Amino acid sequence: MGLQAQTIESFLRDNERKIDIGSAALAQARASWSRAFLVVDEASTLTNIAALRITRVVEALQIPAVRIAGDRMQLGGQAAGNPFKLMLDRKVDQVEIKTIVRQRHAAPHFREAVGHFAEGRVKEGLSAMAPNIHELGPGVTEGEVASKVVALWEDAAGQGAPGIVVTTNKMRDLVSLERDSFRRNCIRR
């Protein structure tokens, strides 16, 4: 079968459809899973309904092995239940990984902050992140925030800065306008 990746929801929809169709589609799906195993990543976001759906699909397809990966500290799903935390609380066989991999090439203060956050030490994590925290003061407008974000991005752009990530469509639009204005000014110089 090879390595395949898809969202939990698309996995469920694809396979629930095959189960509903039955016969040939179900037999083909069972055959493809007969020597494979399922890894459910981000399991901490699962709700009770999603976990039940996964269980039903695994049973119907006769998937021989399932591994679940997640983070106890991550926010749960948006519907009822958190079966991942229940499994951890009931001491289901588990392996805990404490090695920080994603930030291995980040600045030392950033790796330190991530370590604090991973251990639930938010105050220490924020303190370690101090070089990356910029206070604008009370009464600042969203436009001023966007302007500051773009200015910081401009300063870091020569250092291979990644793109800018924002939390709302409105802020995206404001940052885009600021960045476009910056680019036009650079071209004129």
Q: 87 is written with which tokens?
A: 């499994």
Q: Mind listing the pLDDT tens digit for each residue in 6-33? A: 888 999 999 998 888 888 888 988 998 9
In the numeric block, which tokens belong to residue 174? 């404001």
* Under 8 Å between Cβ of 10 and 18: no
pLDDT of residue 61: 93
Domain residue limits, the chain: 8-89, 98-133, 137-189
Distance, CA of 38 to chain centre: 19
In contact, 15 and 61? CB cutoff 8 Å: yes
Calculate mean pLDDT across residues 130-149.
85
> Is 40 in a helix, a strand, or coil?
strand
Among residues of the chain, what percentage have pLDDT more than 70? 88
Give pTM, 2 decimals. 0.60
Helix then strand then coil, % of the chain, to nearest 5: 55, 5, 40
**Confidence check: pLDDT of 56 > 90:** yes
Residue 42 pLDDT greater than 70, yes or no: yes
